[in-house]
Amino acid sequence: MSKVVLTSTPFHGHVAPFLATAADLTRRGHEVLFYTGSRFEKQIAETGARFVPYPADVDYDDRDLDATFPRRAGLSPLDRLAFDLKYVFSDPTPVHDRRLQEILAAFPATTVIGEPSSFGMLPIALRAPRSERPLILSLGILPPTFESADTAPFGPGLPPPSTEQERAQYAAMKPAVREALADAQHHLEKIFESMGVSLPDFFRNSMVTVPDQWLQLTIPSFEYPRSDAPSGFRFIGALPADNVGSYQLPEWWGTLGNRPVVVVTQGTLENHDLTQLILPTIQALADLDVTVVAATARPDGPDAVRAELGKVPNNVHLIGYVPFERLLPLSSLLITNAGYGGVQTALRHGVPLVVAGDTEDKPEVAARVAWSGVGVNLLTGRPDVPAIRKAVEKVLGNAAFKSRALDLQAEYLRHEPLDTIAEIVERQA
């Protein structure tokens, strides 16, 4: 049996795929050590993996990043992205590098598995040839970031070029994108130099090319074709979203299915201001013959919605946490702020989408929803009531969206991501 180290930035959406991975590998008899933030200790223990927490000086709670990083508060989306790259993800890298070296000295793993923001594992791959170190895998928990002749630069959510003129326009955009991120690039280069290694390329390329393999958590039909993808890049399908074994169903659960079920969520990170998507969705669908499940992903979310609305429409169920693996098979439509994991989960269940996201990687995810034909992209993170109503009626009223979502579901079912990861791990033993 193999020894495996998992490591993930302590964001719920980053850690969730690793919980399924840890549980599966331990069931197969492998020894798994999981290095991440302290708030996930209980969930990791439930997988059977051994938990190792981040050192206290680099630990934080993703539900309130501004408490740990007060200078982050109030920044524009673009400035917040640059801030996070430098101070949330990059600055702790030397601490994580040292800690991972200590872990590997005591626990000689043959495989280290991280994700795009796990910068601390990259020096392992840069310091030594493959024969002298563990295999380094990265799980693609967000759309691929690397530059390609066949796509626009990552970020603004532009579809692949359809003409030579568009291809030329996209090529001309790439130096400007690099320039916009030059400060973050320089910051990260200095950090890697402090660890005695060099970042070999633009960080968005290095995130994908430095690991020995990049396992993209989706299917080809939900990703733009690239003729120049790195040799270690492969699609493996989408991992299960969560563990639903101990969840107690609400009283109204048995009524679902009497009419179309529309689920709305702002995800686990961007849920502080529920007026972005959840409240306007409730207002938009109040008189439609649908059941709305508003999943606020925070314990006080239902009370916050009631406080804003005064009276909650009769066709709405409010809930904090809900296991989407159970809810989505009963659903006709997911309205979401375009988190990558949530979109993958919907498509694994053949559920079409309405997406509204404009921060982090969400414009890219939303663009892929429209490009693949599985839903409507509202092109904003704050859609108004009429726009949401129109999009919902369009998706529910046009069978092509559901048909396309079912086509993608069939493609997901042809992948066995947990088997793929286990096979890679077991080849290293």
pLDDT digits (tens, 9 = 90+) for 352-368: 999 998 888 999 999 99
**30 and 151 in a common domain:** yes
Residue 406 forms part of a structural domain: no
Nearest to 139, CA basis, from 366, 314, 341, 312: 341
Looking at the predicted structure, is the pLDDT value of residue 24 above 60?
yes
Please state the rounded mean pLDDT for residues 81-99.
94
Please state the rounded mean pLDDT for residues 255-268.
90
Looking at the predicted structure, is the pLDDT value of residue 243 above 60?
no
Structure tokens at 341: 């994991």
Q: Is the pTM of this model over 0.95?
A: no
Strand ranges, E, within 18-89:
31-36, 50-53
**135 and 164 in a common domain:** yes
Please state the rounded mean pLDDT for residues 156-171.
94
pLDDT band at 288 (very low <50, low <70, confident <90, very high): very high
pLDDT digits (tens, 9 = 90+) for 121-146: 999 999 999 999 999 999 999 999 99
Phi, psi of 168 (to 5 degrees): -65, -40
Residue 405 forms part of a structural domain: no
Describe the chain by its helix, strand, coil percentages, rounded to 5: 50, 15, 40
Mean pLDDT of the chain: 94
Looking at the predicted structure, is the pLDDT value of residue 159 above 60?
yes
Of 28-42, 82-96, 258-272, the poorest mean pLDDT is in 258-272
The CATH number assigned to the domain holding 30 equals 3.40.50.2000
**131 and 234 in a common domain:** yes
Residue 62 forms part of a structural domain: yes
Residue 207 forms part of a structural domain: yes
Of 30-34, 177-181, 220-224, 242-246, the poorest mean pLDDT is in 242-246
**203 and 344 in a common domain:** no
Tell me which H or E stretch contains 7: strand 3-7
Residue 211 forms part of a structural domain: yes
- The rounded distance, in Å, linking the Cα atoms of 44 and 202 is 33
Do 337 and 355 contact (CB within 8 A), yes or no? yes
Q: Which domain holds residue 362?
A: 251-397
**123 and 40 in a common domain:** yes
Contacts of residue 245, Cβ cutoff 8 Å, sequence gap at least 6? none
Do 146 and 25 contact (CB within 8 A), yes or no? no
Residue 6: strand pairing partners: 34, 113
Nearest to 355, CA basis, from 264, 261, 275, 291: 264
Of the two residues 28 and 12, the one the predictor is more confident about is 28
Other CB atoms within 10 A of residue 375 CB: 29
**390 and 288 in a common domain:** yes
State which amino acid sits at residue 19.
L
Q: What's the total number of domains in the chain?
A: 2
**423 and 393 in a common domain:** no
Tell me which H or E stretch contains 233: strand 233-235
Residue recorded with tokens 């925070």:
298
**197 and 137 in a common domain:** yes
Please state the rounded mean pLDDT for residues 271-286.
91
**189 and 256 in a common domain:** no
Residues in the chain: 429
State which amino acid sits at residue 126.
L
Return the pLDDT at 286. 96
> Collapsing DSSP states into helix, strand and coil, what is residue 336?
strand
Return the pLDDT at 244. 47
Structure tokens at 314: 């009769």
